[in-house]
Structure 1
Amino acid sequence: MQKNKIKLLIIVQWLLLPQLLLGQLHISANHRYLAHNNKPFLWIGDTAWELFHKLNVTDAEYYLETRAEQGFTVIQAVILSENNGLRTPNYYGERPLHNLNPETPNEAYFKQIDRLINKAEQLGLYMALLPTWGDKVKSNRPGQGPVIFNKENAYTYGKYLGKRYQNKPVIWMLGGDRNVADTTVVAIWKSMATGIQDGMGSNAIISYHPAGESSSSHWFHNESWLSFNSYQSGHARPYFPVYNFASYHYSIQPLKPFIDVEPAYEDIPIRFWDFIRWDGKAKLPNQVVDADGFIRNKEYFKQGYFTDYDVRVHAYWNILSGACGYTYGNNAIWQFFSAGDSTAIPCLYDWKTALHRPGAKSMSALKNLFELRSFAKLVPDTTMILSEYGKDSTYISAARANDYSFALVYAAIGQSLRIDLTGFKSTVRAQWYQPKDGRFLYIGEYSNRCPTTFTPPTQGRDQDWLLVLDEKKHFK
């Protein structure tokens, strides 16, 4: 059944190819979201960092087809990848650069990237391309590297990329899980951005992917080349207060869209860095992983693992607080782990199994919700919440349409919600939406003249509910 759906999707895409050529995104007139041809674009991303480096074309195309069918709209991938991406060749034996020189790219390596970008375009997917992982630039957190960039070759490399993909639906994301070490590094990233713009033209959409619990706005918010802000809430704990990041970016000037481009990944151990050795010796004690590299002793990672529930909490907290979308991630997928592979971070599943983990289904439900109600109308508004909206698991996020045609209130643990309905102009139709699978449950119709308490059908962890309020005359 899955294969038949994918085949049908491909046939439809090819029949409609002229209409599906995506072209470049731009920033909306109100500077709150990305748009295409003045139509709002909802970023539903996936972190596929090792896509170009690890997979053969057949597997990579299967991955893209699956994500397109699931409703994703952006794929985040790295050209000079994290896992020894300069020295270890791709599936076909090609390295990205000749002699580790950014000014001498390997045409054979980039032809595979061309093919996958073209495939993504046919499927209606945008590619958010990281020119390099951040360990190829000097930082306070060295990786496998090596460090190869300076101000001059960063410009040349950026211009090469911009020119090569100037007519393709790509978004550029500098950085790569690193913060900016000093003014010299600031100059390198600015030079790369200038190169991309000079190669691509004024329509280049560029951001910066920082380390955990950091934001591009810290260094680059006032740079004209920074089209939107990216932050990484990271993998440190459940119920991370992403709404604080969002509310900050919603308020700063000049206005720019913003997004959490690396929240907690589904199936990744919480605070994994506390349990893995990084000194070149054996990463883990014996018996933690089996012969194929899967985690055998799950209890070793004492803080547990992020789940699809954690994904949903951060997604709704971000979007209802003003973000222009959300990026999903899965620990097996970003590194495209298969049985027998080495891993950067040990995995519970292989990547093909992980493609269909519950978190991906939650992203499909998120996309479906905003196909019915325009996210571009959303205005964060917690003033409608009359009950205490707390912090951590008890935090309640809320947003309404700018014309008050609908409102959305998210209860992470199914807590009761007392809501002020007086902003609506007429009778309100109320429903529960289950974020894990996209089911609606009708509640009833209510007067807009007085507050009303709504209690979800279930309560507790993994019992999150979204209250959907529609002004009756607008409801379809």
Structure 2
Amino acid sequence: MLKVSDNRRFLVHGDGRPFFYLADTAWEILYRLDREEAEFYLQDRAAKKFTVIQMVGLVEYGFAKPNRYGQIALIDSDPLRPNEEYFAHADWLIACANALGLTVALLPTWGDKWNKAWGAGPEIFTPANARAYGEWLGRRYRNANLIWVLGGDRHILSDEHKEMIRAMAEGLSEGDGGAHLRTFHPPGGHSSAQWMHDEPWLDFNMWQTGHDRNRDTYHAIESDYARTPVRPCLDGEPGYEDHPASFNPANGYLDDYDVRKSAYGAVFAGACGHTYGCHDIWQFLNPAWAPPVTYAHTPWREAIHFPGSGQVGILRSLIESRPYLTRIPAQPLLASDTSIGTDHIQATQDSHGRYALIYSASGRPFRVHLDRLSGEKKTMHWFDPRTGAARFGGDVPRQNVKEFTPPSSGPGNDWVLVLDDASCAFPSPGSSVYSGA
């Protein structure tokens, strides 16, 4: 099972091995896919180096309509009367994901079932039945590889809302014996920390930065990284690939470049992982079965091949190619302005100074305080976040400040500078995975 690292910044396996949270938003997979389709999707995500699948038990769209096997989740919309056949399919799906090495981040319910600010509803939860439903789920999935995600894209607007979430979280742990981590999925532009940071049940914070172009995801992570008590944090829902920017098709659709900027900005700012999303995948768009939601326009079996879904796995490989649990944000390493318009530069480094990774969102040159890193001599690579290829740039002698110019510039020409203490003999960032501390 997963746990929080000793330094409270990361997630790790039970034996202490690092766990990079790389999730996809498959919110409605329980409702919209049959088993052949679900297995096809999960195999694709496992092959692309995802580690987590975010999915919902009681979905937002179609809650009252049967799933692909003709089953509804609850009898008479009663949380105390779960439909065994519906959850038997959930059992199969979770087991299938786990067998492929994927952890399931399971939302017991979408938020419209306790706060119908929008969506289909109905509101069905009270603190009492939320606790009972949570305990039932916890017992059922006690031995599965899971993370519990409370909330579901809704605001906490009252003490009763907060008490319902607290009761469900406590019920889950009563049922599973505290085996699984717990977090909260907030609405767009908000963090779980806004309402839950001091809750004793919360293990790590989750943002939803939302579906606009050029969102400063790094600022969102910086704010949660700086909170006390210290908790791991990540963006659980950034802009989806193929989502209309700001929900308006006239603004164009987000693409893989938007995905990369959010991902590298967040992870280099201190996130313990990241979530990818595709607008067509979360709803598994199939117009023959259900109409599209908010201007989705690509069938999911086509959208599964969008480049962003592979490029986030490249980010995971880069992070895992260097010592993991000592990685920290490193903006003071930069001797240049970090942002000019949307052309952001974000740095992360090893706390011992053995390496640094610096992301330039549009290939803009930048200056680095090399004297803040270890080693008389450093090696440099230019890492391509589109392909995972690394170009060796030679040795860099010790000096105070040096300017670096990426291989190309302009929108879509993002690059990562990899600086290593030459005495550490790390592998090329484009070749292998580091397994050390």
Shorter-chain TM band: over 0.9
- Within 5 Å, give how 1:18-417 maps onto structure 2: 24-36=1-13, 37-85=15-63, 87-139=64-116, 141-236=117-212, 238-272=213-247, 275=248, 301-340=249-288, 341-417=290-366
1:432 alignment counterpart: 382
Question: Alignment partner for residue 418 of structure 2, among 468, 471, 474?
Answer: 468
TM superposition shift of 1:89: 0.8
The total of aligned residue pairs comes to 423
Identity %: 39
Deviations 1:275-297 (A, max 9, x none): 5xxxxxxxxxxxxxxxxxxxxxx
Which amino acid in structure 2 is aligned with residue 148 of structure 1?
I
User: Which of residues 443, 448, 451 in structure 1 aligns to 2:401?
Assistant: 451
The CA RMSD over aligned residues, in Å, is: 1.1
Report the secondary structure of 2:132's partner residue. Answer: helix
Q: Following TM superposition, by how much is the alpha carbon of 1:339 offset from its aligned partner in structure 2, in angstroms? A: 4.3
CA distance in 1, matches of 2:219, 2:336: 20
SS of the residue corresponding to residue 461 of structure 1 reads coil
**Secondary structure of 1:311's partner?**
helix
Which range moves more in the overlay, 462-471 or 367-376? 367-376
Q: What is the identity, as a one-letter code, of the residue corresponding to 1:430?
A: M
CA separation in 1, counterparts of 2:231 and 2:258? Answer: 26
- TM-score with structure 2 setting the length: 0.95
Give the SS at the match of 1:78: strand
CA distance in 2, matches of 1:214, 1:386: 31
1:61 Cα deviation after fit: 0.8
User: Stretches of 4+ moved more than 6 A in 1?
Assistant: none
* Runs of 5+ unmatched residues, structure 1: 1-23, 276-300
1:132: how far off?
Answer: 0.5
Give the equivalent residue in structure 1 for 2:433.
none
2:375–2:422: 8 Å Cα contact kept in structure 1?
Answer: no
Counterpart of 2:423, as a letter, is K
Describe the superposition over 1:214-245 as per-residue Cα deviations: whole angstroms up to 9, x where unpaired.
01111111111001001100012x22111111
Maintained 8 Å contact 1:31/1:255 = yes
Q: Any conservation in 1 of the 2:377–2:398 contact (CA below 8 Å)?
A: yes
In structure 2, distance between residues paired with 1:144 and 1:348:
22
- Paired residues of 1:163 and 1:200 also in contact (CA < 8 A): yes
Give the Å deviation of 1:127: 0.1
- How far apart are the structure 2 equivalents of 1:79 and 1:218? 24
CA distance in 2, matches of 1:164, 1:392: 50
Deviation of residue 257 (structure 1)? 0.5
The Cα offsets for residues 367-395 of structure 1, whole Å up to 9 and x where unpaired, read as 22123113432111111111211254222
Could you tell me the TM-score, scaled by structure 1's length? 0.87
Structure 1: distance between partners of 2:398 and 2:23: 37
| CA distance in 1 between partners of 2:256 and 2:235 (Å) | 16
Instruction: Report Cα offsets for 1:418-448 as digits up to 9, x if no partner.
Output: 1111122220101101111111011111112
SS of residue paired to 1:58: helix
Moved more, 48-57 or 348-357: 348-357
Alpha-carbon distance in structure 1 between the residues aligned to 2:283 and 2:311? 21
CA deviations on 1:401-421 (whole Å, 9 max, x unpaired) are 112111000000100011111
Cα distance in structure 1, aligned partners of 2:291 and 2:118: 20
Structure 1 residue 201 displacement after superposition:
1.1
Contact 1:239 1:392 in 2 (8 A): no
Q: CA separation in 1, counterparts of 2:170 and 2:45?
A: 32
Which letter maps to 2:7?
A: N
